[in-house]
Structure 1
Amino acid sequence: MIPRPFEYHAPQSLPEAINLLTEYGDEAKLLAGGHSLLPMMKLRFAQPGHLIDLGKIPGLKGITEVGNEIRIGSMTTENELIWSEVLQRKCPLLVEGARLISDPQVRYMGTIGGDIAHGDPGNDHPALMLALDASFVLQGPSGERVVAAADFFLGTYYTALVPNEILTEIRIPTPDARTGQCYSKLKRKVGDFATAASAVLLRMDGTSVDYVSIALTNLGPVAFKASEAESFLLGKELNEQTIQQACQLTMSACDPVADLRGDIKYKIAMAGVMTDRALRTAHSRATR
């Protein structure tokens, strides 16, 4: 199908983009990578009268470490995440997750900010952001505010962004060097969304779990943390029994919908399998 007619805007600055969003209101949509918006426009599920391209705005790309925090511009592509030396050394979970997103063509154009702002529970970055305890810089006419990932994802395709705000930056506390990290994802084929996926950060104190973070993809109306499983594991030895119990607690927190990727029971079972794999792999990568 062909999209409805629209006016294309290519602002050269962030204030210009915010002014356009404010001026055109509900008639405007932001274009980042475009891999979600453009297909929806072709099917006329989305029919904006004005398309605002963020691609020519300086300062929205890049990956830097500032103090004990990693900062990523929202227009940074998946491929740039994969090749970042900072992320490879300090935050390999994000590199691993980006490698599992779609295919190379999409990764060269798709952006981390677009993935997050879309609010799709099937996208990979929401769970990765929750696992990493990230926060997002949102900028609008009233200035800048910072929202924790835990407070950002409110529902399916529904986030804390207000209509005339733009997600400009992602901030991630630099993980402790001893932390093991893993993103375990089940998908039917290359390029597909996850049937189920689990992101884990794990730090050990001897044989006991000193810190653990578990977040899940496509297993509820939003990406979410497996909080009960995290609380259960904290301070315990990581063994067959505790891993099994943590996976059961993770499965009990899931609320997926049936689709072509599987029925509800299958998806919940795979949540347990992916969490099991992620915990074991993160444990093998943790430096005691």
Structure 2
Amino acid sequence: MYLIPAVDASQGAVNYYEVDISSRYDVSRVLQQVKPKVIFHTATPNPFTPDHTLLERVNDFGTRNLIKCSKEVGTGKAFFYTSSSSIVRDHRNPLVKAKTSQSILAANRTGNDMLTVTIRPASIYGEGDELTTGNLIRNARSGHANIQIGSGRNMFDNTYERVEGEAFFVISDDPHFFWDTSRLVASIAEYSVEEKDVRTIPYWLMMLIAFLSEWIYWVGTLGRKRPKMTRWVVRLVSMERTFCIEKIKTRLGYRPLFNTEESMRRAVGWFLDQDHADETSKKVK
């Protein structure tokens, strides 16, 4: 189940509707009531979930369902879909991502001329993020911020966006190595790691460990569970994902609001405040 926020521009209010995005009845009922002009579709399961059926039901079927219902209502002028840059790089669940992307592109300017846009970020963080920021902080708290896989020279900070039939790559315009970013988060969260304490695990060895771990989990749980460290995760944190953004800077005037360090400080600050509030709430109960 996901919450669909609907903004009432006349009153400046936001109403939330809990729906099953894969249910045509649920989605149609809400859209008929709200009659939106602009739709921002950000609903998705945790991308690291091993439940491929859930990923397909929400990301593919749910998205196509939302597009179809939006066109039937007929009030929509623009449809923004948050996808993932993994469709062009790390290729996890490529069939699901490809089918979803195809649905979005095919819906552009068809029927009621609603414009569709697909935004493909590689790693989202900021105030409100519990996945990327949370994982990095939990890694630091567990004392593993000094561990890196491979040489540590892989850049990892980008977003891919498609606007009205054209493709735009977007990054922070402030390149950082992935493992430097990991240690930056650790430092901001007061779990600093000295350069001399960094321990490097060869990529090939980590891939072997991940393979054996996946195999043991598969045998031990009959395929029902997967380890946190899989071969896909090893590839993800070891690859370089950077893009040229001159096109979007020149043609759309794109400029990032904050550099990487400031963005991370904001993200970590929010997460720690939220974490402290949760702990305080538990103690009160």
After TM superposition, the score normalised by the length of structure 2 is 0.28
Q: Which one has the bigger strand percentage?
A: 1
The structure that has the greater radius of gyration is 2
After TM superposition, the score normalised by the length of structure 1 is 0.28
Q: Which one has the bigger helix percentage?
A: 2
